[in-house]
């Protein structure tokens, strides 16, 4: 592929709900532009942008991928993004490289939950966008019904510039409402329509839609509005100028129609992208930080070189592959740049244009272009590469924390040795994953955006790195605390052949507010206990608290005051007072009303409004407290606080309750008391597990 200048580049993300046909639309665009020799298909597993084994097997997009298409002597970087809730955050990360977005909507299902979510992502990045009603050749598809649905969700500024000719299996062409021309297609053809006159059966509807388009275009442009009032219409060239301005200022969101599967309307979509979407420089400068000050950097070749890494792919053969957008300057092959975060020097050997899993070599990439390079040493997603003399840094995309965690364990000792290294390679690729060891339960946890997300990672570990692991529900990190006070003595006395052991302390124990953990105070006076033994008393209590009293969970949120005691000149030692403190702790627990605490999570569920009643009832059944409700378009947002123990199976239950149309996020909120009935079950289970461990050791 040849090198393109900034003005001849468009960076477009295809976003939308899963199975809306984004990958098929990209495949059609690549074939129409001559990048592929035939129309590839998702069901055949040979598309350019869904190349991962898991994507081919599951027939869904899991990770954002870039493929460059050439159209009318210009270059369009098409970013194919995931549409299912488990992987949707990867779409958000990819939008950092886009200058506009095509929101793909299924002509049967209409606007779905994730469509609204990616729309909100586009709002965050202030991306101009258009809506493509896709799959209009499917049975039960309807352009009119879907358009009505789109306008009810996104408003009247979603205005059609296309009308379909035919419906369902008879969908064979598209009316261009700007030029008032019809384009007919051969199913599975090259994607280039044959121009002709508008058929009589759609002429009236086309004229009505044409007039509505003119009104909307003129509405925000005083010059065009004046012309429209004078003449009662606008010529195609003025409509085009007004539309381009309205799209780039996000006053309008044009609605197009297509079939990615049979390559109908693809050429009109590509023409629209070139004519109406902004180029990289048109979007204005990027904001960054230079020498501690906020600055703006224009997207120009003449500026110092800087590039933003928006994605990392862990390839078992090529190593780490970095996807980057050239923000300013010209990145040349073998360029030496600095990773601003780590201050590491990076040599960009063999840069190229991204085309799915391959990188097509080019000598240089101009400002605004997207490229890829392998084997950077220190560079990760969100990093900035810059000229050593002008080390600007751009802010990384903020992604939400993972919503669910699973305990992960290696199947064999050999797998255990290699698991950590393999997981960390995948962590470089996926920013929405977390891998850590719970200090309380001692389990290794893999946290992701849902069960399917984590299962995909487990599958990749096996296929890419030959590491076999098992997933299971994590242990709940319960804790213990007290509700009452106690005033007790701990006395340790042991006489042996030589020196004896003697330690004696009096302590007061009382509860602390939630989250205060532990406090130790010394009120001994008069030398009842020498000062050098006080730390041993504290250590004895801390060690005893770690092992708990009721069920072996750590004791938290309590204060201990040591105020009296006695010692022996010869027999007292640090160990004696430590053992005395342990006895005092156990005695105090008998009086201080010990109880269990459980982690409570902040949960936010987004689902179609019709499921709100069922979801609220389910939350109540999980001992949840509803904290608030909000409606946004056709989506109901439910916020609640729910015990972690009740959320372990929520992913699967939510999917079955809503046919997979709902999403949820979850993060830790606080610890709260476990109700008596549940506490008794937890204590009994913990004691049984302890007995089992003892028997196993014997």
Q: Is residue 584 scored above 70 in pLDDT?
A: yes
| Bridge partner list, 287 | 296
CATH number of 404-459: 3.30.70.870
Q: Which of 57-66, 123-132, 223-232, 540-549 has the lowest mean pLDDT?
A: 223-232
Q: Which two tokens stand for residue 642?
A: 């729910």
CATH of 8-199+252-277, one of 3.40.50.2000, 3.40.50.300, 3.40.50.1370, 3.40.710.10: 3.40.50.300
Q: How far apart are CA 217 and CA 223, in angstroms?
A: 11
Per-residue pLDDT, 697: 45
pLDDT, the chain, mean: 91
- When pLDDT is averaged across residues 111-127 and rounded to a whole number, the result is 91
For the chain, what's the residue count?
698
Q: Is the dihedral of CA 513, 518, 523, 524 positive or negative?
A: positive
Q: What is the pLDDT of residues 89-117, one digit of tens each?
A: 999 999 999 999 999 999 999 998 789 88
Is CATH 2.40.50.100 the right assignment for the domain spanning 480-592? no
Q: Which of 184-193, 346-355, 369-378 has the lowest mean pLDDT?
A: 184-193
Of 304, 518, 468, residue with least CA distance to 393: 304
Q: What is the pLDDT of residues 315-358, one digit of tens each?
A: 777 788 999 999 999 999 999 999 999 999 999 999 999 999 99
Burial class for 293, CB neighbours closer than 10 Å (0-12, 13-18, 19+): exposed
Q: How far apart are CA 554 and CA 693, in angstroms?
A: 19
Give, for 114, the enclosing helix (H) or strand (E).
Answer: helix 113-124
**Do the domains 599-677 and 404-459 match in fold?**
yes
* CA distances (Å), origin 14, targets 190, 243, 528: 20, 20, 76
Residues with Cβ < 8 Å from 282, sequence gap 6 or more?
A: 99, 248
Q: How far apart are CA 441 and CA 644, in angstroms?
A: 15
Ordered by start, the domain boundaries in the chain are 8-199+252-277, 285-386, 404-459, 480-592, 599-677
Q: Is residue 698 scored above 80 in pLDDT?
A: no
Buried b (16+ CB within 10 A) or exposed e, 206-237: beebbeebbebbbeebeebbebbeeeeebeee
Per-residue pLDDT, 497: 63
Q: What is the pLDDT of residues 666-697, one digit of tens each?
A: 888 899 999 999 999 999 988 887 765 544 44
CATH number of 285-386: 2.40.30.10
Question: Domain 599-677 class?
Answer: alpha beta
Q: What is the pLDDT of residues 621-664, one digit of tens each?
A: 999 999 999 887 678 899 999 999 998 888 888 888 987 778 88
- Predicted confidence band of residue 33 (pLDDT cuts 50, 70, 90): very high
Is the pTM here over 0.75, yes or no? yes
């Amino acid at each position: 592929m040849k090198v393109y200048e900034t003005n001849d580049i468009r960076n477009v993300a295809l976003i939308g709900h899963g199975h809306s046909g984004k990958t098929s639309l990209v495949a059609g665009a690549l074939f129409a532009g001559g990048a592929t020799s035939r129309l590839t298909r998702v069901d055949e597993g040979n598309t350019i942008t869904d190349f991962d084994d898991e994507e081919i097997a599951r027939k869904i997009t899991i990770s954002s991928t870039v493929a460059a298409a050439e159209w009318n002597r210009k270059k369009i970087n098409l970013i194919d993004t995931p549409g299912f809730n488990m992987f949707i955050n990867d779409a958000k990360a990819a939008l950092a490289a886009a200058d506009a977005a095509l929101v793909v909507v299924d002509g049967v299902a209409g606007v779905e939950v994730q469509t609204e979510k990616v729309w909100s992502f586009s709002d965050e990045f202030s991306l101009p966008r258009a809506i493509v009603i896709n799959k209009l050749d499917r049975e039960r598809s309807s352009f009119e019904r879907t358009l009505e649905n789109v306008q009810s969700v996104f408003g009247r500024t979603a205005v059609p510039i296309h009308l379909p000719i035919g419906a369902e299996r008879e969908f064979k062409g598209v009316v261009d409402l700007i030029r008032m021309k019809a384009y007919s297609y051969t199913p599975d053809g090259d994607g280039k329509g044959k121009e002709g006159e508008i058929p009589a059966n759609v002429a009236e509807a086309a004229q009505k839609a044409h007039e509505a388009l003119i009104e909307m275009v003129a509405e925000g442009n005083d010059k065009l509005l004046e012309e429209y009032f004078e003449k009662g219409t606008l010529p195609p060239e003025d409509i085009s100028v007004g539309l381009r301005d309205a799209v780039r200022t996000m006053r309008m969101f044009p609605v197009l129609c297509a079939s990615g599967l049979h390559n109908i309307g693809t050429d009109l979509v590509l023409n629209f992208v070139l004519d109406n979407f902004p180029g990289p420089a048109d979007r204005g400068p990027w904001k960054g930080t230079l020498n501690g000050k906020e600055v703006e950097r224009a997207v120009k070749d003449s500026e110092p070189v800087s590039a933003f890494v928006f994605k990392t792919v862990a390839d078992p053969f090529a190593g780490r592959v970095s996807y980057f957008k050239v923000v300013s300057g010209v990145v040349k092959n073998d360029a030496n740049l600095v990773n601003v975060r780590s201050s590491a020097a990076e040599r960009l050997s063999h840069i190229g244009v991204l085309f799915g899993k391959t990188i097509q070599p080019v000598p240089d990439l101009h400002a605004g272009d997207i490229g890829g390079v392998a084997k950077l040493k220190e560079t990760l997603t969100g990093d900035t590469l810059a000229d050593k003399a002008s080390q600007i840094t751009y802010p990384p995309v903020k992604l939400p924390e993972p919503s669910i965690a699973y305990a992960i364990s290696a199947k064999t000792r050999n797998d255990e040795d290699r698991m950590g290294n393999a997981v960390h390679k995948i962590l470089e690729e996926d920013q929405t994953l977390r891998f850590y060891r719970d200090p309380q339960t001692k389990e290794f946890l893999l946290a992701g955006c849902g069960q399917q997300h984590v299962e995909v990672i487990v599958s990749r570990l096996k296929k890419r790195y030959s590491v076999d692991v098992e997933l299971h529900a994590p242990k709940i990190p319960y804790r213990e605390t007290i509700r009452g006070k106690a005033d007790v003595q701990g006395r340790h006395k042991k006489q042996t052949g030589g020196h004896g052991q003697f330690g004696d302390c009096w302590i007061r124990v009382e509860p602390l507010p939630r989250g205060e953990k532990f406090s130790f105070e010394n009120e001994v006076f008069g030398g009842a206990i020498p000062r050098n033994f006080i730390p041993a008393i504290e250590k004895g209590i801390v060690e005893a608290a770690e092992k708990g009293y009721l069920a072996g969970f750590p004791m938290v949120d309590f204060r201990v005051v040591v105020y009296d005691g006695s010692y022996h000149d010869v027999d007292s030692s640090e160990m004696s007072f430590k053992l005395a403190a342990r006895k005092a702790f156990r005695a105090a627990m008998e009086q201080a009303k010990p109880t269990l605490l459980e982690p409570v999570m902040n949960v936010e569920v987004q689902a179609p409004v019709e499921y709100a009643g069922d979801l609220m009832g389910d939350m109540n059944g999980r001992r949840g407290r509803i904290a608030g409700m909000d409606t946004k378009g056709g989506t109901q947002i439910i916020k609640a606080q729910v015990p972690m123990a009740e959320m372990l199976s929520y992913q699967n239950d939510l999917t079955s309750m809503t046919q997979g149309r709902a999403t949820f996020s979850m993060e830790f909120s606080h610890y709260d008391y476990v109700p008596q009935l549940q506490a008794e079950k937890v204590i009994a289970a913990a004691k049984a597990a302890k007995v089992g461990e003892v028997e196993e050791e014997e």
